[in-house]
Amino acid sequence: MIDHTTFDGKVVLVTGVASGIGAATALQFLRCGADVVGGDLNSGSLEDFTRTVSGVAPGRFHPVALDVTDAASIAAALDHATGVRGRIDVLFNNAGIAPVGSALETDDALWRQVMAVDLDGAFRMSRSVLPALIESGGSIVNTASVSGIGADYNYAAYNAAKGAMINLTRSLAIDYGKRGVRVNAIAPGPVRTPLLEHNLAQLPALEGAFNQFIPLGRIADPQEVASVVVFLASPLAAFITGAILPIDGGVTAWNGQPNGDFVQ
Ligand SMILES: NC(=O)c1ccc[n+]([C@@H]2O[C@H](COP(=O)([O-])OP(=O)(O)OC[C@H]3O[C@@H](n4cnc5c(N)ncnc54)[C@H](O)[C@@H]3O)[C@@H](O)[C@H]2O)c1
């Protein structure tokens, strides 16, 4: 059972904490007793989030400025996290960007930017935090995507980064399992966060299309993703490592062929 004491005395490090999936997940870890060290690039939203959670878990949320593309920034965040209780138990590699672009629309700069945040960032964070996780017997949860399992139209760099994130997860899982570290990934489908809201605002008909093709008939709430991350990091998942868990309302169960019910 997971309750308000499950993560008592544990330190959870979350990247991309100030918005969407990161924010919802940090909140659930705080409700389960953890100290959460939350890093984000956006200092304004980090301040807002810190104010929001101050009433929920006084003194247990520790904000830190973090750019996952910058080695010095990662080192400083790690120092900060270690300073909280002298340990790190969970790393949630969640920071990500998803700019639109097919291959012909993706120049070198855009490609590098997506790889730097979505893939290199998670790799560097993992490499930096692994020694602490080996000591604590901790775990990593990576935010991949259904776009790393199958491809999304017009997201060449994002699809490639999330696909690589999935095999990075497996690689870390097999290399560090015998040293007591579990590594898993979540693969969300569409989740109602600012990242997705931005796309929905530009193309309002998109929401109806999502509702039609998602077998459960709707976009997910961030809390529905957060609860799975907390589960994967908890003792309930003690024998799960290297798993890529879709949280997609059935999207990846579909083979892509048209549904006769919706063909006019
Ligand atoms: N929303 C979806 O539909 C969806 C679906 C599948 C996967 N994802 C993944 O979930 C993760 C979170 O996405 P979200 O929807 O909550 O997005 P979001 O934009 O709401 O939140 C992402 C957060 O990451 C931060 N961030 C961006 N670059 C950073 C950097 N270099 N260093 C540190 N922080 C940085 C942003 O400031 C922001 O607070 C991403 O990895 C995304 O690819 C989202």
CB-ligand 1 contact for 63 (6 Å cutoff) = no
Best mutation site among 47, 193, 228, 248 for ligand 1 pocket (most ligand atoms within 8 Å of CB): 193
Q: At what angle do helices 222-233 and 20-31 cross, to 10 degrees?
A: 50
- Over residues 28-51, mean pLDDT: 98
Other residues' Cβ atoms within 10 Å of the Cβ of residue 73: 17
If DSSP codes are grouped into helix, strand and coil, which group holds residue 65? Answer: strand
CB-ligand 1 contact for 159 (6 Å cutoff) = no
Strands 35-40 and 139-143: unpaired
pLDDT category at 127 given cuts 50, 70, 90 is: very high
Other residues' Cβ atoms within 10 Å of the Cβ of residue 43: 11
- Over residues 185-193, mean pLDDT: 98
User: Residue 17 Cα, ligand 1 centroid: separation in angstroms?
Assistant: 8
Distance of CA 120 to CAs 28, 216, 239, Å?
A: 26, 33, 27
CB-ligand 1 contact for 128 (6 Å cutoff) = no
pLDDT category at 74 given cuts 50, 70, 90 is: very high
pLDDT at site 261 = 83
Distance of CA 13 to CAs 2, 24, 116, 145, 166, Å?
A: 19, 14, 19, 20, 20
Structure tokens at 179: 């040293």
CB-ligand 1 contact for 195 (6 Å cutoff) = yes
Q: Provide CB contacts within 8 A for 128, sequence distance 6+.
A: 74, 75, 78
> Which residue owns the Cα nearest ligand 1 atom 32?
67
Catalogue the E-assigned strands of 178-235: 182-188
Is 158 catalytic? The answer is yes
Output the CA torsion sign for 153, 157, 160, 162.
Answer: negative
Instruction: Please tell me which residue, 116 or 203, carries the higher pLDDT value.
Output: 116
Best mutation site among 92, 97, 140 for ligand 1 pocket (most ligand atoms within 8 Å of CB): 97
Neighbour order of strands in the sheet with 139-143: 61-65, 35-40, 11-15, 90-93, 139-143, 182-188, 244-247
- 126 neighbors 90 (Cβ within 8 angstroms): no
Question: In this structure, what are the phi and psi dihedrals at residue 36, rounded to the nearest 5 degrees?
Answer: -115, 125
pLDDT digits (tens, 9 = 90+) for 104-124: 999 999 999 999 999 999 999
User: Residue 93 Cα, ligand 1 centroid: separation in angstroms?
Assistant: 10
CB-ligand 1 contact for 65 (6 Å cutoff) = no
